[in-house]
Amino acid sequence: MASQRRSQRTKSPVERLRAICLALPDTTEKVAWGEPTWRVRGRLFAQLDNHHHGAEHLAVWLPAPLGEQESMIFLNPVRFSRRLTWASAAGLACASTGDPTGR
């Protein structure tokens, strides 16, 4: 267990995200809009935002119901934000702070 945690700390945030996404059944990775995306049977469920268009953040966009989005943003507005343009559905961004505890 300790060696697994140590190994995870040496991986980049993108490598850790990729491992989490690809561990899900039927998941594939596809580059779209210049960034990695992850899909199940062709349906997008996560998109990396790796300083896209010069942004200061590294984030992942995930679909989330509106009520859940507001709760997450309220609890941690530094880490979470909303994106309303993703495939006509609302998405939630989780930005990396560099701190694995999320503070």
Whole-angstrom distance, CA of residue 21 vs CA of residue 26: 10
CA distances from 26 to 33, 39, 99 (A): 22, 8, 30
Residue 31: CB atoms within 10 A of its CB come to 9
Residue 98 pLDDT exceeds 70: no
Show the DSSP H helices in 1-103 as ranges: 2-10, 13-22, 66-75
In a domain, 100, yes or no: no
Within-domain flag for 79? yes
Domain assignment present for 101: no
Instruction: List the domain range (segments joined by +) for residue 90.
Output: 2-95
Q: How many domains does the chain contain in total?
A: 1
Question: Looking at the domain assignment, is residue 36 inside a domain?
Answer: yes
- 3-state DSSP assignment of residue 59: strand
CATH no. for residue 68?
A: 3.90.1150.30
Strands 80-86 and 27-32 turn out to be unpaired
Provide the whole-model pTM. Answer: 0.68
Residue 14 within any structural domain of the chain: yes
Instruction: Specify the length of the chain in residues.
Output: 103
51-66 residue pLDDT tens: 766 767 788 888 888 7
CA distance 63 to 56: 22
What was the pLDDT predicted at 19? 96
> What's the CA gap between 84 and 26, in Å, rounded?
27
pLDDT at 49: 81
